[in-house]
Amino acid sequence: MARVVVDVMLKPEILDPQGQAVQRALPRLGYEGISDVRQGKRFELEVEGPVDDDALARIHQLAETFLANTVIEDFTVRVEEREEVTPA
Amino acid sequence: MARVVVDVMLKPEILDPQGQAVQRALPRLGYEGISDVRQGKRFELEVEGPVDDDALARIHQLAETFLANTVIEDFTVRVEEREEVTPA
């Protein structure tokens, strides 16, 4: 079982009110030095079987068709190397 | 200028209706072999100046306090290596 991550972000030229709201709140909250914030979506897909070129191509197509609105969003597809999760 | 990415995902034990909706739709749409989908948030922060341990610690605190609800969400903080974006 492998994990494939699809990140979907608004294109740079598209206004991002969510990200802007976060960015404008930061100085008030005591965090300086962050000049821009963009907010997007992250999909984690658990894939059965090997993630070969064929499987990645299908997931790419899936992301393009269903997960992202390619008129206003860009996306990336990648096989995830396991990252350290901060237990909270 | 460096980019720091904060990924916020629901904890594994928390139900994820958005991800489930995507996962259940996939076989109908012709995509088999994906056993689970989780949907979360991705924040891209553009940081002025060097991203040293101190800056990362502040962003970690920021994420824990404002970007994630740590009762139900886990998060990761990492400096992004530039990835290939699929132009769509």
Which CATH number fits the domain that encloses residue B75?
3.30.1280.10
Report the complex ipTM: 0.87
pLDDT of amino acid B88: 58
Asked if residue A88 is part of any domain, the answer here is: no
pLDDT of amino acid B49: 86
Asked if residue A85 is part of any domain, the answer here is: no
Asked if residue A86 is part of any domain, the answer here is: no
Asked if residue A87 is part of any domain, the answer here is: no
Give the minimum alpha-carbon distance from B87 to chain A in angstroms, rounded to a whole number: 6
* Sequence-separated (6 or more) residues with CB below 8 Å from residue B9: A42, A44, B38, B40, B41, B73, B74, B75
Mean pLDDT (whole number) for B27-54:
93
Q: What is the mean pLDDT of chain B?
A: 91
Band (pLDDT 50/70/90 cuts) for residue B80 is confident
- What is the Cα gyration radius of chain B? 16
Inter-chain CB proximity B35 and A43 less than 8 Å: no
Asked if residue B87 is part of any domain, the answer here is: no
Asked if residue B84 is part of any domain, the answer here is: no
B81 pLDDT exceeds 80?
Answer: no
Nearest to B43 among A37, A58, A74 (CB): A37
Asked if residue B15 is part of any domain, the answer here is: yes
- B-chain CB neighbours of A75 within 8 Å are 85-86, 88
Count of structural domains, chain A: 1
Ranges of chain A with pLDDT below 50: 84
Full domain range(s) for residue B8: 2-79
Closest CA to A25 of B5, B50, B67, B68: B67
Asked if residue B21 is part of any domain, the answer here is: yes
User: Chains A and B: how many Cβ contacts under 8 Å?
Assistant: 130
